[in-house]
Structure 1
């Protein structure tokens, strides 16, 4: 899925189960046939997924069978 990076934020917190959640949120825009204009979504990248990108970069998101981001590649 090809998207344009709109924003990036680091995530580091402990959830209600006591697990530490550490990673990166990518806020991205992309064309969607059911949306007039550009659709915007947030994608979570767990620690270990390399995402060498910055706002306004166009990237390719690759998802696993569960719908979670598996890799990020610059276009």
Structure 2
């Protein structure tokens, strides 16, 4: 087994799902990459908390623009 396969098996045994993306995927399809990351979080946790209003505590998926804005803020 190659090194990447061993790493993937080790991470899976630890309960970690590995997501990989090529550079060109990020450069040409950021929305798709962000949505795949969102789907990975949802698969792992069952939900990701994004509250519209604090008083109603509803869990909703974010809009793609919100994901893009969060990414820009975290990398600035």
TM-score by shorter chain over 0.5: no
Please state which structure has a larger fraction of its residues in strand: 1
TM-score, normalised to structure 1, is: 0.24
Which has the greater radius of gyration?
A: 2
| Structure with the larger helix share | 2
